[in-house]
Each structure stands twice: as structure tokens, then as C-alpha cells.
């Protein structure tokens, strides 16, 4: 049973496991209204900060944690029918995001947002379902000190123009514990 059911039946558990999970679904017509009809783009998104301890097998986490959490990420993304996903701290090391494609999002396009600052690092990644075209992308650090956090950004062409816009901009950020003082 879900300890904290959220909107649309999404489950978010908070506490000792530090799980943050967000699912979203919104519909816009290509002409600018909202609803579900011809010409609509229903956009489902999925975001999860899995925390670095799992990815790197640190602070009591098992080395198998990353593989299990990567597979679970894909299961939840599919269950939410997401077309755009964002992962935070699902990483191969402190500055390299793991491949969401290798966990099972075959045919998707991933945009990495690595952040390396001194001996600190962080990662964010966006991925787009087949049919979405990444036109430009980037990423980096949101701070220039011990509290540095990553962001990933992408300009994409959706399968259907949204309110007359042929391209959309997506950003995934791992907000610093303090404030943002870097990044563009």
C-alpha cells in the first residue's frame, strides 16, 4: 500500500528512504485551449531524484541499488506514460549521468547535465520519447562552491506543435541547498 498517495494515484514516500517522485500529465490543444480532442498533445512527465548514495553504493547502499533503481525508473516512466523524464543523481560517478537508454528507454534521446566543481560533482539528465527531436541542449552547475548542483536543458521539437510553438524548452534542475549563484 502507498503510504502517501498523491494526485492521480501517484505514490510518494518520504522519510527514511528520501524518495522524491513526481508524475505529471497535462493536455493542451495545438490551437491553444485545453482538453482532450483532435490536435491535442497530452504531455506526461516523470521526475525522480534517486540520490547519489544508491547510484554509487555509498552510505550503506548496496552496489546493486543502481541497477534496481534504474530499472524501477523505467518501469515508473512507462507506467506514467511519460514522454519526457528527468533523473537527478542517477549516475555512473559524481559527474556522469547513467544512461537511461541502457536501463530500458530504448529509442529515447538523453540530454546530460554534468556538473564538476573542484572535488564536488552532481548530475541531472532529461530524456525524450521517440518522436521528440532534440534541437539543442546543455547543462552544468548551478553553484560554484561545495553546494554545487546540476542542471540539464534542452530545446526540443514535440511531435505536435503546442499553442503554435514548434519548439519547447525543458529544464531539469537539482536545486542547491542554499541558492543558485551560477549557470546559464
Question: Model confidence over 16-27: pLDDT tens digits?
Answer: 333 344 444 444
CA distance 87 to 98: 9
In the DSSP assignment, the letter for residue 165 is B
By DSSP bridging, strand 84-88 and strand 40-49 are parallel
| Distance linking the first and last C-alpha atoms of the chain | 42
pTM: 0.78
Residue 77, SS3?
A: helix
Q: In which element (H, E) is residue 86 found?
A: strand 84-88
What pLDDT, on a 0 to 100 scale, did the predictor assign at position 32? 46
Q: How many CB atoms lie within 10 A of CB 79?
A: 11
- Is the pLDDT reported for residue 1 higher than 60? no
Q: How confident is the model over 124-181, as pLDDT tens digits?
A: 999 999 999 999 999 999 998 888 899 999 999 999 888 888 999 999 999 888 888 8
Tell me how far the alpha carbon of residue 6 is from its chain's centroid: 19
What is the chain's alpha carbon radius of gyration, rounded to the nearest angstrom? 17
Nearest to 66 by CA among 77, 54, 74: 54
Amino acid at each position: 500500500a502507498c503510504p502517501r498517495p498523491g494526485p492521480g494515484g501517484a505514490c510518494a514516500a518520504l522519510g527514511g528512504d528520501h524518495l522524491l517522485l513526481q508524475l505529471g500529465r497535462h493536455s493542451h490543444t495545438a490551437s491553444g485551449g485545453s482538453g482532450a480532442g483532435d490536435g491535442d498533445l497530452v504531455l506526461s512527465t516523470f521526475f525522480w531524484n534517486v540520490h547519489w548514495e544508491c547510484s554509487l553504493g555509498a552510505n550503506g547502499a548496496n552496489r546493486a541499488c543502481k541497477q534496481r533503481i534504474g530499472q524501477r525508473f523505467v518501469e515508473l516512466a512507462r507506467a506514467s506514460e511519460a514522454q519526457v523524464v528527468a533523473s537527478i543523481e542517477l549516475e555512473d560517478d559524481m559527474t556522469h549521468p547513467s544512461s537511461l537508454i541502457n536501463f530500458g528507454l530504448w529509442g529515447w534521446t538523453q540530454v546530460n547535465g554534468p556538473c564538476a566543481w573542484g572535488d564536488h560533482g552532481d548530475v541531472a539528465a532529461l530524456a525524450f520519447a521517440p518522436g521528440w527531436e532534440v534541437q539543442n541542449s546543455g547543462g552544468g552547475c548551478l553553484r560554484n562552491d561545495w553546494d554545487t548542483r546540476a542542471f540539464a536543458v534542452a530545446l526540443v521539437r514535440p511531435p505536435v506543435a503546442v499553442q503554435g510553438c514548434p519548439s519547447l524548452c525543458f529544464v531539469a534542475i537539482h536545486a542547491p541547498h542554499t541558492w543558485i549563484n551560477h549557470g546559464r
